[in-house]
Structure formats: C-alpha cells, structure tokens
Structure 1
Amino acid sequence: MNKVFPGALAALALVALAAPAAAQGIDEQVNAIFASSTGWFVSLIFSNFPGTSFPWIVGWLVIAATVFTLYFGFVQLRWVGHSIALVKGDYSDPNDAGEVSHFQALATALSGTVGLGNIAGVAVAIGIGGPGATFWMILAGLMGMASKFTECTLGVKYRNEFENGTVSGGPMYYLTKGFKERNLPGGGILAVLFSIFCILGALGGGNMFQANQAHAQLANVLGDYPGWITGVIFAAIVFAVIVGGLKSIARVTEKVVPFMGVLYVGTALIIILMNADQIGWAFGQIFEGAFTGLGVAGGFVGALIQGFKRAAFSNEAGVGSAAIAHSAVKTKEPITEGFVSLLEPFIDTVVVCTMTALVIIITGQLVSDPETGLYMVTESGAIETVGGTSGVALTSAAFSSSIDGFKYVLAIAVILFAFSTMLSWSYYGLKAWTFLFGEGQTKEVIFKVIFCLFVIIGAASNLGPVIDFSDAAIFAMAVVNVIGLYFLMPIVKRELKNYTAKLRSGEIKKFS
C-alpha cells in the first residue's frame, strides 16, 4: 500500500498540471455531451407532480418517512434515550464483530449529510418559502429519523463479515439477501441499480461538487487562483485518509464532525443570544408562516414544499447511503445501529438547519416584496431575489451582520464540510464498487485513485450538467432503496420485537 501512495500522487499531479490547458475545451465538450444525453434523466428525477411545484422525489421520501414512522410506532420518539446511551458506549462490547464504534459510525454518516446544504440550502428554502419553511423542514427531519432507523438496521443485519475483521454492508446487500430470505424476486437487479447510482453519485455530488464549492469559497477569501491547485491539495489529503480504509476515515470524521458542528452551531448560538429579544418573535414567524404562508408566493403550500424539500435534500433519509457507513459498526444486535442512526436526521436537520434558519430570521436579512409576495435578501441597500447561488450570500450576510469577518469562519466551515463529505462518499462509492467488481486490495486502490482524480476535475472545472446528473443519481438511489425497505420492513419489526424482549428480560446489559 505504501508503494501505491507516491505513484498515485504523481499521477494526480500530472493530471492537475495538464488540466488548465485543456480545461475550457473539455468543460464545453463534457457539458454538451451530458446536457444532450442525460438531461432526460435529470428532468425525470427532479420533475414536479403534475400541476404543482412539488418534486415527486421529495414526496417519495416524505411518504416513506411517514409510513415508517407509523409502522414502527413513532420509534424516533420512544427510543431516543436508548439511542443516546448506545452512542455513549453504554452497551458496547469490544468483542463484537465490526470495524468502528457506534459514535464513529454516526460521525462518519453525519459527515456525509451535514454539509453545504445546511448553509446555502436552508437560506434558499427560507428565501423562497419564508420563515414557515423552517417548521416543515423540522417536521420532515423528525419523520426522516424513522427511515434512517429502518435502512441502517437492515444494513447491519445483512452485512458481509470477513476474516480480516472488515465488513461490507448497505442496500446492495440487504436487497439481495433480504429479498432472497423472503423469497422475493428482483433483489439482485435492484442491488445492481443501486450500486451504479451510488458510484455515480459518489464521484459527482459526493466529490466533484464538494471540491468545486470548497475552491469557490477559498477563492472568495484568498483571491482568484487556479482550481487545480485546490484539487491537488484536497486529493492528496483525501487519498492519505481513505487509503487506510474505514477505520482511518472514522478516526478523522470522529474529530472533524464534532469540531465543525461546534464551530458552526456555536457561532449561530452566539448570534442568536446576541439577539435574544428577537427569539420569541422569530418562532412566531416560523409558526405563523407554516400555516399561513406569511408573505410567500404560494402561501402555506409554498412554505411546506420548501421545508420538505430542504429536509429531504439535506439529511438523505431513505437514500440508503448512511446504511453503508452504519453497517460497519461493532455490534451483534442490528437494531442497535438503527437506534443510533435515527439521531442523524435530528442533528442534521432539526439542529444544524434550524440554527441557520434562526440566524437568518433573527438578523432581519429578509424583507417581503409587496408585489410578488416573495421574500428577498437585502444587501447594501439593494434587493435581490433569493435563489441559486445567493443562498450562501444570504447566510453570509446574516452572520456578518452580527459578527464582522464571518466569511472566514464560513470558509473554514465549507472546507470542513466538503472534506468530510468526500471522505464519507468515498467509502459509499467504494462499497458499491466492490459489490459490483468484487473485494480485493487492488480493486479498492483503483477506485480510490479514480475518486481522487475526480477531486481535481471537480475543483478545476465547472461541469454543471455532470453535477446535475450525479445529484439525480443520488436520489435515484432513494427510488431503489425505498422499494426495498417497503418489502423488508417486517424483518426490522421482528428485530425490534426481539430486542425489546431481551432488554426486558435483562439478557442485554450495560458494559459501562
């Protein structure tokens, strides 16, 4: 493995040096090819229900979250205390099969979901849907906890455990094994489709987009410079971490995720406390806007759509990606990781996204346009519509209104979010890759080198259609995954019933 590292970095450097000369021409060619050949797929995944502005894929995820919430009797409310105890390690047996602790698995999965969507996406949702979008965002996040519980329990139950101590798990394994156990056809086809979409999503949305946005924020702070420089640096650091496998990724994410969470949420709390007299008013705006559509075009429905949309795109509940990370946990009871995973949408959406929303509302960065009814962001006396790239500008303006120089804090947050997301998605893509092409060190290194090459491409290019396609691939994962969850949720219910009986009988005891 040590011999591979210098060679891989040399290859990365050569690609990076060649990138600037041909970047523009390649960008144009790739854009044209992808726009013409994959535009139908992107449109299909992100199209709206007929006669509405509500994306059907969001409805697909919200309906699934509602079904799982009801089917498991509001598991996200009844078992949250036990979930926290598991994360603390109270029930952890170090002799159990697996690679990482409950906390490390949670941190790795969180690093893949807590990201730029929490900073820019929330601003766009509030800008379009008003303060009321926050209420529906929180509700969707709470329901999404049940989806994570379902998929991560199955991920552990049907994982592959190898003699060297490593494991492989995720939707591709429970779709094949679970369907076979229930004598259901089509599990293998669904697993292959999921794996293909996962690899495409990992290379695009989980890699190129992250590198591209990290470079954009760095250039905003340091001044314009070639993107390939950022790409090479990021690629070298990412390769150095992922070459060590999941244990190496987990050791990094268990430190990076809490730090970036404290940095961002801590800054938000300071601003909220600085404007403590506005907290009650802000929550009033959230609740009033949730049911009346306070100053929003589309009214109540507009607020609901934006809130649900942001929650679905932020916490990825039902997508199946988190089940891959959680499958590596050390446990002999699959349901325990289901309990741990349900904390993920709570932290990502209910806590981090809500902090962003409160800062934007409290600092008064939004005004209502009396003609359109749409919320706008005010900056230097000018009024601009909120949407597209202005999401980050709105969040930055909101924080900077109370703390000078927030763009530097935001730059650090964006870099950490992008870096941690790339680490997690490198693992997701790797497991999908090995499911399709087989396990083995050589095959793993090939994927890791490819992944790092795409880091450089993403930072140096502006491949819009490619990113759109990869984002669509991520949510195509949800289509395949949720179909499987509907057929396999009785197995999860059986696991829950058995675990509850063991707890009551005292068979399961605390280790610390």
Structure 2
Amino acid sequence: VRGDYDSYETEGNVTVSPSVATVEGDNPDTIRVEGAGEVSHFQALTAAVSATVGLGNIAGVAIALGIGGPGATFWMILVGLLGMSSKFVECTLGVKYREVNAEGTIFGGPMYYLKKGLQEKGWHRLGKILAVVFAIMCIGGSFGGGNMFQVNQAFKLFEHVTGAEQSFIAGKGWLFGLIMAILVGIVIIGGIKKIAKVTDKIVPVMVVMYMLAVFIVLGLNFEAIPSALGAIWNGAFNPQGVLGGFVGVLIQGFKRAAFSNEAGIGSASIAHSAVKTQYPASEGLVALLEPFIDTVVVCTLTALVLIITGQVVPGMVLSDEEGVLLTAAALESGISWFPYLLTLAVVLFAFSSMISWSYYGYQAWSFLFGRARRTEYAYKILFCCFTVVGAAATLGAVTDFSDAMIFAMLVPNMIGLFILAPKVATELKQYKNVIRKKERLEG
C-alpha cells in the first residue's frame, strides 16, 4: 500500500499468461507487460474501500446487535477475517484478466475473468453465461443499492438532524438528490482516474472523522470497555448471538448494497483492476486489507459504542433508518454536536459509495453494450437520474429487488473463484519469487 515494492514493477522480465493473447477480437492485455495502469495501489484501495465502508458500518451493526445481542459482533469479525481470503482471490483475478483499449482505459472485473478464465479451462459457454449474468446483476445493483439506497439514507439522517418534520428540507428529497446527482455527475464523467483522485482524499477524511467520534465516546466510557468485550465473547456462542451475527452480516449485505465488505461479491475487483502493476498478486495482497478495515476495525468499534452506551437491546427489530439514528444517538451521548459530524460522515460515505458503484455499473454496462462514448454517457446520465429518484422515493420493493441483484452477483462470482483458485496460487508464487530474488540481489 505504501509503495515499498513499486520499484519491482519496472524491472526484469515478466512471464505473460495465456490470457494476454487476443480473445475474440479484444485488445491484447499489453498492460500486464508494460506495467502501465490508471491508478496507484493506494488509490485502488481507497476507491474500493469508499464503496465498502459506508452505511453498513453505521446502521447495519445496530441492526445486527438488535437481532443477536453483543455476541453478534464476534461473528461479524470472523466473517471479516474469512472475507480477506476471497477478496485476495477475486482482486488478483481482476488484474490478471483485465483488458485495455486503445486509449489506455482499463476494463476488468468478474465479467472478464469469468469469460476468459473459464475459456482457458475449456468451459467457454459456461464462462460466457456466468459473465453475462454477473454483468446484468451488477448494473441493477449499481442503480439500486449502490445509488438509490445510499442517497435515500443520507437524506433521511440529514433531514433528522436539521429538525425532522420541521426541517427546511423536509419533503424535498428531490432537491437533496439533485444536488448529489450534480456532484456525482461531475466526478464520474472523468472516469476511474478522477474517481480515485476524489476517493483517496475523501476516504481517509471520512474514516478519521467517524473514528474520532467513536474513540471519544469510548474514551469517556473507558471503564466499561472490558465488560463490553466480555459481553461480546459470552454472547458469541449462544444461539441468539450466532443468528444475529450471520443474519446481521446478511442484512448489511442486502440492505447496504453489498455484504459489509463486499468479499465474494466481486465488485471491488473492478476497481482494483485499474491498478498500475505487472503482478496481479500484488494487488490481491493490497485488497485483502479492505475487509479488515471495514468489518474487523470499523464495525467492531461501532458495536462497542452501541453496547457501552446501551442503545441496542437484544430482541429489537430495527428498520434501516432506525439503525442510523441509534448510532447517532450513541455518539451524541459523548458530545452533543456529534450527530452533525456523523451526518457529514454519512453524506460523504454515501457520496463515495455512489461514485465507486457508478464505475462498477459502467464496467458491467460496457461489457454488455460496448465501449462507445455514447453508451458510456447513456449509463452515467441514467445513474444520475436514479440518484434524484432515490432521494425522493420511498424505496420499498424497488430497493429490495436491487439489493437482491447484488446478492445474486455472488453466485456466478464464487463459482469462478473456486474454479480459478489454482491460477491465483500460481500468481502469488510468482510474485513472492520476484520479491525474494530482488531482496537477495539487494542484500
């Protein structure tokens, strides 16, 4: 992530995999040979983290604790740790099978490694079917969970802290959505380079902002932390805790536009495909930090705040909006003006998630409909229109359907990950050998 191994990218001969050869008229993946790319390791990580660290960490944790009590936290941590391995596999494959057009724009993600990777195995038809299914679901997910749901929840919290029904913006979701759509449109017209330049500034700020609020509340209630940790451990192995943990993680997934950390969904590999590297495994190693940051760190700290402040009582059934408001109330117990800080963080979380998901959706759109400028702008204009609709509407079944499409992305993606896992092992071995060789020469 810090770039300590970047110098290894530009020296020595790179063994090119068969996937570099032209497939059905596609441009050869010369990018793997030239060591080119569009964004740095850090920018690729922040672009992907911006889509995963979001409302699931704020509202989803409250919902999980409501279902399963403090013990649910243990199972969220476990799922986060296991998710690091699937994230490594899918992001390594994303880089390995990516493509580049004549202008140097990169196209990658599950659509490409499903199609080309399975073709190498002799399963051309299956690969093509899985790739098309994934692309369709990804487009639906980008409009719904990755866009409409994000802006809707950001508007609800903004409306709440500015006076609820007496707020100056009460009932004017379309106005909030229009402003967000304009801001999103300005960023996404510029492509992944522009997105990365925004996210590598927004993500650290919003995470630090949220963590600051959390740490102050934990600091003010320092003596209660040991008992909270004890409650998490003791509650982890009763049936209610197990149910809450797994169901809670699913809720974060379905209702927050992806699983809390998107591990196994395949979406993050689209952002990571644009990295500047010759070695796919190098980006896989960077990518596995995401579930750790998102679930193990951020979700755990949120859970501790909710447990210590007594906001969540086991057995509570919370709606999405109630989950956000409960977390706001927990932070308010530390310092009265923290809900305003949280609102700013939530708006930034929603904004960064939306611009990253617009990129995911466009990549899937271009896989199905081609890479012409006209099709690109058609998708981006449509995406901005859904932003306005999302803020103004009561989502209901529309969002449920869209979130189900995101979950459906998991099915073709996981099939591909299991089949192509040996390819990832080979890439990791090659990269480790390069590092050992360089260190021997330098030593």
Q: Do the two structures share a fold, i.e. TM-score over 0.5?
A: yes
Residue 260 of structure 2: SS of its match in structure 1? helix
* Structure 1 contact 135–307 (Cα < 8 Å) conserved: no
The answer to whether the 8 A contact 2:156-2:321 is kept is no
> Equivalents in 2 of 1:464, 1:386: separation in Å?
15
2:60 and 2:252 in contact (8 A); partners too: no
The residue matched to 2:39 in structure 1 has which SS?
Answer: coil
AA aligned to 1:190 is L
Tell me how far 1:275 sits from its aligned partner. 1.1
Count of residues paired in the alignment: 405
C-alpha separation between the residues in 2 aligned to 1:110 and 1:443? 27
Alpha carbons 1:149, 1:341 under 8 Å: kept: yes
Partner of 2:295: 349
Instruction: For 2:38, give the aligned amino acid.
Output: E
CA distance in 1: counterparts of 2:93 and 2:328, whole angstroms = 40
Query: Are 1:145 and 2:91 matched, yes or no?
Result: no
Counterpart of 1:163?
Answer: 102
Selected match of 1:501 from 417, 423, 433: 433
Greater shift in the superposed pair: 399-408 or 110-119: 399-408
Per-residue CA distance 1:387-425 (angstroms, 9 max, x = gap):
553212221221111211322112111100110000000
Taking structure 1 as reference, are residues 311 and 407 closer, same or farther at Cα in structure 2, changes over 3 Å only?
Answer: closer
Secondary structure, aligned partner of 1:389: helix
Choose which of 390, 395, 411 in structure 1 pairs with 2:327.
395
- Within the candidate set 149, 153, 160, 1:209 is matched to 149
Which amino acid in structure 2 is aligned with residue 257 of structure 1?
V
What is residue 19 of structure 2 aligned with on the other side?
none
Offset at 1:508? 9.7
The gaps in structure 1 that reach 5 residues or longer are: 1-86, 368-373, 377-384
Determine the structure 1 residue equivalent to 2:14. none
Choose which of 400, 419, 422 in structure 1 pairs with 2:354.
422
Report what 1:476 is aligned to: 408
Q: Distance in 2 between matches of 1:509 and 1:362?
A: 53
Instruction: Give the SS at the match of 1:477.
Output: helix
* Cα separation, 2, equivalents of 1:392 and 1:438: 39
User: What's the counterpart of residue 14 of structure 1?
Assistant: none
Pair 1:455-2:395 in alignment: no
- Paired with 1:463 and 1:307, the residues of 2 have a C-alpha distance of 21
Partner of 1:103: 42
**Structure 2 residue aligned with 1:309:** 250
Q: Is the CA contact (8 Å cut-off) linking 2:72 and 2:242 kept in structure 1?
A: no
Q: What letter corresponds to residue 431 of structure 2 in structure 1?
A: Y
Aligned to 1:111, the other structure's residue is in SS state helix
- Percent identity at matched positions? 57
Separation in structure 2 between the aligned mates of residue 288 and residue 176 of structure 1, nearest angstrom: 46
Looking at structure 1, the residues matched to 82 and 319 of structure 2 have their Cα atoms a distance apart, in angstroms, of 26
Shift of 1:479: 0.7
What is the match of residue 492 of structure 1?
Answer: 424
Task: Note if contact 1:123-1:357 (Cα within 8 Å) is conserved in structure 2.
Answer: yes
AA in 1 matched with 2:385: L
Question: In the alignment, is the contact (CA less than 8 A) between 1:249 and 1:424 conserved in 2?
Answer: yes
- Provide the rounded CA distance (Å) in 2 between the counterparts of 1:402 and 1:460: 32
Asked if the contact 1:335–1:495 (Cα under 8 Å) also holds between the matched residues in 2, the reply is yes
Q: Is contact 1:127–1:387 with CA below 8 Å preserved after alignment?
A: no
Deviations 1:128-172 (A, max 9, x none): 111111111001101100000000000000000223222110000
1:433 aligns with 2:365: yes
Tell me if structure 2 keeps the 8 A contact 1:170–1:323.
yes
1:508 and 1:163 map into 2 onto residues whose CA distance is: 38
From the superposition, tell whether residues 300 and 448 of structure 1 become closer, same or farther in structure 2 (CA, over 3 Å).
closer
Q: Which amino acid aligns with 1:144?
A: G
Aligned-partner SS, 1:97 = coil
Asked whether the 8 Å contact 1:375–1:386 carries over to 2, the reply is no
Matches within 5 A, 1:27-42: none
Q: Choose from 90, 94, 105 the match for 2:4.
A: 90
Instruction: Map 1:340-419; keep pairs closer than 5 Å.
Output: 340-367=286-313, 374-376=314-316, 385-419=317-351
What do residues 12-44 of structure 1 show as CA deviations (whole Å, max 9, x unaligned)?
Answer: xxxxxxxxxxxxxxxxxxxxxxxxxxxxxxxxx
Identify the residue that residue 247 of structure 1 maps to in structure 2: 193
Q: Distance in 1 between matches of 2:345 and 2:267?
A: 22
For normalisation by structure 2, the TM-score amounts to: 0.88
Equivalent AA in structure 1 for residue 63 of structure 2: V
Find the aligned partners of 2:221 and 2:228 in 1 and give their Cα distance. Answer: 10
The alignment's TM-score, normalised by the length of structure 1, stands at 0.76
**CA-atom RMSD in angstroms:** 1.8
